[in-house]
Amino acid sequence: MSDVLAAPRRCALVAGALGLVGSRLLAALHDGGWRTIGIARAADPQPASAENHLHLPLDLSDPAACRRQLGPLAGEVTHVFFAARASDLDPDRETRANLAMLVNLLDGLDDPPGALSHVCLVHGTKWYGSHLGPYATPAQEDDPRCDAPVFYYAQHDEMRRRARLRGWTWSTVRPHIVLGVGTQYPHNCVTLLGAYGSLCKAMDLPFYFPGSDAAFDALSQCTDADLLARAMIWSATEARAANQDYNVINGDYFRWRRLWPRLAEFFGLPSAQARPMSLVQSFGGAEAQWQRIVAAHGLQPLALNQLANWRFGDFLFAATWDDMSSTIKLREHGFHDTVSTEASLLGHLARMRAARLIP
């Protein structure tokens, strides 16, 4: 372990290393010359070739395992990027599970204190209640917490408490609809759309927007995974970003009605209008059809549910309210990167096609 991490550089521990956010963050850290340690429950199916990288299969819900495996790294790890998440439909259970994972990691790594200097948490616009209905927009980082239980709050409070005790700094990022290619992320809009468009093409179905006209016309926003990775590294290393929360979105807003024809063009389909439907009911039983598509086009042998979480799609396309976050604070503090949402989404779909994930 010490041989892998011998060089005297910043050392980042990324929790959730195999997920959409964690994997892109690791790539950005490698490009920046960081030493990295990736944590995920599973072993890395494609071990990184980077000389200064270590992958640890670790269940963050196991406090004993965290102390055993993370304790020896306490003198090495300077930065923690926490992108792990345990999803649960019950918000109280979800809060307990996600708080425990953060506590176990910090107990294993920073108790007693080691080399840790900064912790960055990945949260999102649920902080403002975006998942519940209309909320004050554009959302600003100092807006009050919503009334419903959200696991971000417990994590945020615990992180700040420990930072005061230990003397390290912290930051959080709040993206919305993270865009990227990956099969280890249950809320992936890109792979969902890739599977939906491919099924519509193969089954000769209209490429309907599967929501209401109000959802078709609502303003929304996305965050490119690579942009988010750059913002996370910036927030963890920029002095002005110490102990701050940041909304991180691409820099533009969009309406699905305007974007839908470009998606239809990508799949070689005529653009259809909004037609409310349940993706779970319409495509939840489409595994056999998907496997025929895989065989016909020589695609990677993945199950449909590895690409498309139809329940997430039903939630995503049901939002009839605007989702808008202010990025003024982020810009004023010095981070100015932007990405076109249309270019990001179409680019990632093209990468899916190139990787033989969709025809």
Counting the structural domains of the chain, the total is 2
Note whether residue 6 is domain-resident: no
> The tokens of 117 are what?
């200097």
What is the Cα–Cα distance from 61 to 97, expressed in whole angstroms? 7
Q: Domain for residue 199, yes or no? A: yes
Residue 190 and residue 159 share a domain: no
Q: Work out the pLDDT band at 183, boundaries 50, 70, 90.
A: confident
Quote the pLDDT of residue 49. Answer: 53
Report if residue 333 sits inside a domain: no
What is the C-alpha to C-alpha distance for residues 95 and 253, in angstroms, rounded to an integer? 30
> Within a domain: residue 330?
no
State whether 119 and 192 are in the same domain. no
State whether 230 and 215 are in the same domain. no
Residues 154 and 235 reside in one and the same domain: yes
What is the CB-side half-sphere exposure of residue 329 using CA atoms within 13 A? 21
Question: What is the average per-residue pLDDT within 147-157?
Answer: 96
Mean pLDDT for 184-196 is: 92
Residue 2: per-residue pLDDT: 37
On the question of pLDDT at 8 being above 60, the answer is no
Helix (H, G, I), strand (E, B) or coil at 283: helix
Residues 101 and 123 placed together within one structural domain of the fold: yes
Tokens coding 179: 């865009």
Report the share of the chain in percent with pLDDT over 90: 91
Task: Summarize pLDDT for 251-262 with one digit per residue, the tens.
Answer: 999 999 999 999
The enclosing domain of 58 has a CATH number of 3.40.50.720
Question: Does the pLDDT value for residue 4 go beyond 70?
Answer: no
Selection from 181, 187, 358, 183 nearest residue 268 by Cα: 358
Residue with token string 């050392």: 11
Same domain for 208 and 150: no
Residues 37 and 57 both lie in one domain: yes
Percentage above 70 pLDDT, the chain: 96
Assess if residue 66 is contained within a domain: yes
Q: Is the pTM of this model over 0.75?
A: yes
| Distance from C-alpha of 354 to C-alpha of 87, rounded to nearest angstrom | 30
Distances (CA, A) of 224 to 17, 83, 292, 306, 312: 17, 15, 31, 20, 18
Is 239 domain-assigned?
Answer: yes
pLDDT value of residue 284: 96
Regarding whether 301 and 228 lie in a shared domain, the answer is no
Pair (100, 192) in one structural domain: no
Residues 20 and 143 in one domain: yes
Residue range(s) defining the domain that contains residue 273: 182-222+253-323+339-353
Please determine, for residue 155, whether its predicted confidence score (pLDDT) is greater than 80: yes
> For residue 186, what pLDDT is reported?
80
Same domain for 83 and 190, yes or no, is no
Q: Do 143 and 204 fall within a single domain?
A: no
